[in-house]
Amino acid sequence: MTTRVEIWTDINCPFCYLGKARFEQALHSFEHRDDVEVVHRSFELDPTLSADESGPVIPRIAAKYGITVDQAAANERAIAAQAAELGLPYQSSGRDYGSSFDMHRLLHFALEQGRQEALLDALYAGNFAETEPVFADTERLVDLAVRAGLDETEVRAVLADPTAYADAVREDERTAAQLGVTGVPFFVFDNKYAVSGAQPTEVFTQALTTAYNDRPAPLVTVAEGESCGPDGCAV
C-alpha cells in the first residue's frame, strides 16, 4: 500500500523549483521511499496570459507587488542564494515569464509516457538555470521536451492541438480550487495532509512520516471457507 503525494506547481514559480528539491531531499532519506508515489499537478500562476505573451520577469514582479525594480532584483538574488544552498543553479537576472499552459499540457502527456519527472526537471532547468528564454517559444519547448526523453513528433503533435490534455490541466486546477489552494507549491499527502510552500526539508520528512504511519493497516485473512465469486461458486 503506497503513500501518494500530489504536488501542484507552476514553471513560473521559483519556490516550486526550491520546494521540489527540498521534498526530494526528504524523500531520498525516507526509509519507505519505495512505497511513495509522486504525481505532479497543474497550477497556472496567471491563467490569463496568452500563449505568445512573455517578457522580463523582474519588472513584472515589481509591478505586481508594488515594489521597485531594485527591490525585485534583490528578491531574485535572495532566491538565488537559497537555490545555491540546495546546489541548484539559478539565473537571478535575465529570466522571462509567460503562459505555462502548454507546458502543463506536455507534462500530462509526459505522465502517460513515464517521463513526467524528467520533463518537469528539464522545464525548471530551462527557466531557472539557463539563460535562453523558455516562454512563447515552441522550438525551445520542443527542445526541452526532447531533452527529457520524449518523441519530437509526438511533442509537436500535442503542441499543435490546443485541446490535447487541456481538460487534464483544467481538472487539476479545479481540484486545486476545491482544496482552497491559492499559491504553489502545494503538497497533498494521501488526501489527508497538506504542506504549503517551499518548506524546510524536515517539514517534508515529518509529513511523509505522518502520512505513511497513518495508512490503513492491510487486511489480514484469518480464515477462508467456501464462497462465491463473479465466476460462480466453488464446489
Instruction: Report pLDDT digits (tens) over 97-153.
Output: 999 999 999 999 999 999 999 999 999 999 999 999 999 999 999 999 999 999 999
* Nearest Cα residue to 187 out of 177, 196, 178: 196
Return d(Cα 82, Cα 87) in angstroms, integer.
Answer: 9
Q: Which pLDDT score is estimated for 13?
A: 98
Which amino acid does the sequence have at 7?
I
Q: What tens digit of pLDDT does each residue of 144-190 get?
A: 999 999 999 999 999 999 999 999 999 999 999 999 999 999 999 99
- For helices 101-112 and 138-147, the axis angle rounded to 10 degrees is 30
Q: How confident is the model at residue 216 (pLDDT cuts 50, 70, 90)?
A: confident
Measure the CA angle with vertex 89, ends 5 and 69; round to 5°: 100
Is the pLDDT at 22 greater than 90, yes or no?
A: yes
109 and 152 Cβ atoms separated by less than 8 Å: no
- b or e along 190-210 (b: 16 or more beta carbons within 10 Å of the residue's beta carbon)? beeeebbebbebebbbebbbe
The residue type of 26 is: A
β-strand 36-42 against 3-9: which pairing, if any? parallel
- Whole-model pTM: value is 0.91
Residue 220 has a pLDDT of: 62
